[in-house]
Structure 1
Amino acid sequence: MQRIKQGDDVIVTAGKDKGRRGTVVKVLTDDRVVVQNINMVKKHQKPNPTAGQPGGIIDKEMPIHVSNVMLFNPAKGKGDRVGFKTLEDGRKVRYFKSDNEVVDA
């Protein structure tokens, strides 16, 4: 089970976008995540007439390492560490370590 999943609201803890919030768009296999409107770069793209793509400079989201993001805790209003615990019915769930609140019920 992963600490950060697709669709989670995260806050960036390190790098040029430190302190900004965003939603995880994609989780990659090498411990990296793509966060919406975070770590934007300008990509010089050649036109591709067969695919109908025009050329030019486009803004693109690049992945950042999961160690540089924290799950956003709406109750506290800031990033929080995540742990795992097993409920009485046998389900393994994520929880916020500061207040023991279950993330995904």
Structure 2
Amino acid sequence: MYKIKKNDDVAVMKGKDRGKRGKVLEYLAESAQVVVEGVNKKKKHMRQTKQDQKGGIIEVEKPMSCANVLVVCKNCNRPVKVGFSVLKDGSKTRICKRCKEAI
């Protein structure tokens, strides 16, 4: 079980986009990176193709390290560290380390 999952709200803690918040679009487990909506945008030069695609410069979100983001707790509405808890039925769930509620 990973601490960060797709569709989590995260806050960027390091880098040029520090302070921004966004939703996780993709989690890349093998490289421990996340793609966050509206964060770490890079310009990509696209060539025009025959399939009605316009050429030009577009902005694309690029992956960034998981170490640079923290999950935003829905109860606290603050960036928090994530812990794990085992429920009575034996399933494992993610919890907020600040308020001890499930994320």
Q: Shorter-chain-normalised TM-score: which range? A: over 0.9
Structure 1 residues not aligned, in runs of 5+: none
Measure the CA separation in 1 of the matches of 2:47 and 2:58.
10
> Which position in structure 2 is the counterpart of 1:83?
83
> Which position in structure 1 is the counterpart of 2:43?
42
Measure the CA separation in 2 of the matches of 1:36 and 1:54.
23
User: When the two structures are aligned, how many residues end up with a matched partner?
Assistant: 102
Measure the CA separation in 1 of the matches of 2:76 and 2:2.
22
Answering whether residue 38 of structure 2 is matched by residue 32 of structure 1, we say no
Deviation at 1:96, TM superposition (A): 0.5
Measure the CA separation in 1 of the matches of 2:77 and 2:84.
21
With normalisation by structure 2, the TM-score equals 0.94
> Which position in structure 2 is the counterpart of 1:15?
15
Alignment of 1:56-67 (within 5 A): 56-67=56-67
Measure the CA separation in 1 of the matches of 2:52 and 2:3.
38
* Corresponding letter in the other structure for 2:28: L
Q: Which runs of 4+ in 1 moved over 2 A?
A: 74-77
| Percent of aligned positions that are identical | 40
CA contact (8 A) 2:75 2:101 kept: no
Measure the CA separation in 1 of the matches of 2:10 and 2:37.
10
Answering whether residue 5 of structure 2 is matched by residue 5 of structure 1, we say yes
Q: Deviations over 1:7-64 (max 9, x none)?
A: 0000000011101110000111310010001111111111121x33211000100011
Question: RMSD of the TM alignment (CA)?
Answer: 1.0
CA contact (8 A) 2:38 2:61 kept: yes
* Corresponding letter in the other structure for 1:78: R
Deviation at 1:99, TM superposition (A): 1.3
SS of the equivalent of 2:67 reads: helix
With normalisation by structure 1, the TM-score equals 0.92
